[in-house]
Amino acid sequence: MHLRPAARLHQMTWNAAMLFGRKRREGRKSVQQPAWIILDGSFASRPCTVLDLSDTGAKLVVDDLAPTHTRLRLAFSRDVRSGRPCEVAWRRGKTLGVKFV
């Protein structure tokens, strides 16, 4: 079977992802919802906005997060006892991606 160059590249990329154990990104749902983050070892909550959410993580916008913090909890209420443990996966300015742990 002969594939066009673009289709061949897509197939090669998909094969490489499967070979190295990478899965396709889980479906994300756009939520645009206010939430709070609680830094690891802290009781203080900081406001953020959850842009999208999946079973495995979320994309957030945070105004004031020190770049050294990599572990936090994401909560949809200000109750510091609630929330889901997360690790920061990537950052771009005030936007960051977290994975649930």
Residue 34 lies in a domain: yes
- What CATH number is given to the structural domain containing 46? 2.40.10.220
What's the rounded Cα separation, in Å, for the pair 32 and 5?
38
Residue 16 lies in a domain: no
Residue 1 lies in a domain: no
Give the helix/strand (H/E) hosting 21: none
Domain that holds residue 56: 29-100
Q: Domain tally for the chain?
A: 1
Residue 19 lies in a domain: no
Residue 47 lies in a domain: yes
pTM: 0.69
pLDDT single digits (tens) 58-85: 999 998 777 667 899 999 988 767 889 9
Provide the 3-class DSSP secondary structure of residue 5. helix
